[in-house]
Amino acid sequence: MPKTNTHDTREGWLRAGMKVLDERFFKPGKHELPAELYVSIGWAKNAGKGNAIGQCFPPAWSSNEKTVNMFICPRLSDPVEVLATLLHEMVHAAVGCEHGHKAPFKKVIKEFGLAGKATATYAEPSSQCHTVLTEVSELLGPYPHVAMVARKKSKRGSMGGWVRLMSTNEESYKVLVSPKQLEEHGYPVDPWGDEMVPVEG
């Protein structure tokens, strides 16, 4: 049975998870984690252009040039998936971000049992890695986070911030209206007296 969650923040849960993963996977003298290693929640760099669910920044990105910062995407809410992503980023921290997803990174994730491409690893259900991560998640208790959904600005009926409307009586009759005017006055009516609607697509 999962224990009652004693972590009131996502970062607290992640820090505790990092400590347990260190004990379960990383071996002293073989897999050395940085002395200053932090983890938090945040969108990955260029999140809107890709599907990164985690990211690790080398010491050169911190003002003291010593701290390694890891971020877990707020889209994730499943504790095992979060831990698998955290483990992936911890491997980056251990082997050095400069290696990217090449050797020795590939060697370590294979050793730890993470499945999938090196750029998109996961804990495969029924695998030993998944079993361990499930045990860790039960030890930590529920992940105190509600998944976020990245929403792109709708292009529906918009042109550079303006809204394009059309008549339901004559589709070729269209007008552009500012969002502010719509909010203040509502939708305009066409020459036939009917309220106009946003252009689809």
Give the DSSP H or E segment for 112: helix 105-112
Query: What's the chain's average pLDDT?
Result: 87
Half-sphere exposure of 72 (CA within 13 A, CB side): 28
The predicted pLDDT at position 49 comes to 46
The predicted pLDDT at position 17 comes to 97
Neighbour tally for 164: CB within 10 Å? 16
- Give the pLDDT confidence of 25-74 residue by residue, as tens digits: 999 889 899 999 999 999 876 544 456 899 999 999 999 999 999 999 99
The predicted pLDDT at position 1 comes to 40
Contacts of 16 (CB under 8 A, 6+ apart): 7, 140
- Report, as ranges of residue numbers, the positions in the chain whose pLDDT lies below 70: 1-5, 45-51, 150-160, 200-201
Half-sphere exposure of 120 (CA within 13 A, CB side): 3
Rounded to 10 degrees, the C-alpha dihedral 85/89/92/93 comes to -150
The predicted pLDDT at position 187 comes to 82
